[in-house]
Amino acid sequence: MSVFAHLLDGENPPDELWPSLGELMQIGLVGEEGQVAPILRDLLGALAAPLVLVTVEVTGEHGTINHGVVVGQEAVIAHEGWPNDEESEYTPIAPQSLVWELARMVNLGADDSSDSDVSCIETTMGALDAALSALDHGEGNEATTRDLIRKALIEAGTPKEPALGELTELVMAMNAMWRITTAWDGKHEGERAAMVRALAVWDCGPRGYWVREKPEEPILEGQIGPESELRLVRTRNGKIWEKITDLLPEREDLLDA
């Protein structure tokens, strides 16, 4: 992508990017005179002048995976990565499929059928860190892991029952934590400003989906500490679909649309 950026600006890529330029020439995406292949027109047009940038971060047992979508004037491009891999796959998608594509990237599934008297959990980020650390020390034994998580939460002093038992089960059942963030150029109080919306969710498999309302997204670096409040709210699949839809700006919200 860095090579393409230089070529679009009419510049020669720096020496450290020449191996990448050679690869692109070898597969026919860049010509001998530095011309970019027509097949890349929509992709590079969207990247050069994006209307909306969507980032999708999924953290699970295999690490963190980064996906996203770039909405341009003429095309909508989705990109997906894989754990421990620097490469991404870019695919044009139909604009009307954008919400479906984001739901697919986070593996949004059907609602669970489990029953629980707890619909909201309030604790601290320090308690969560202690619980996740205990999860790592469970050594694959379910009963031992559950006891370690529960003990860690009790020592942290929060939450109390019945939320204590529910949070223990959520940590045990967690498939992934994911976050979708949208950003675009808009207006705030009459001035041009970067607009950001975000949604953070725990996918806890048979224990359902839980929206992380606090710490509130978007989170700035250094903003969160052990005493920061953690608030999780159990949320049905359909409502999460609506929340993903609400992350996207209306056309009138975009300065360059």
- For 107-150, write each residue's pLDDT tens digit: 998 776 666 789 999 999 999 999 999 988 877 789 999 999 99
Q: How confident is the model at residue 33, as a pLDDT?
A: 82
* Secondary structure of residue 27 in the 3-state scheme: coil
Q: Which residues of the chain have pLDDT under 70?
A: 112-115, 256-257
pLDDT at 254: 85
The pLDDT value given to residue 113: 61
| Per-residue confidence (pLDDT) for residue 130, from 0 to 100 | 95
Distance CA 255, CA 191 (A): 11
Q: Residue 58's pLDDT is what?
A: 95
pLDDT at res. 138: 74
Q: CA-to-CA distance for 40 and 4, rounded, in angstroms?
A: 10
In this prediction, residue 114 carries a pLDDT of 65
Write the DSSP string, 190-248. TEEEEEEEEEEEEE-GGG-EEEEEESPSSPPTT---TTSEEEEEEE-HHHHHHHHHHTS
The whole-number pLDDT of residue 86 equals 74
What pTM was estimated for this model as a whole? 0.88
pLDDT, position 136: 84
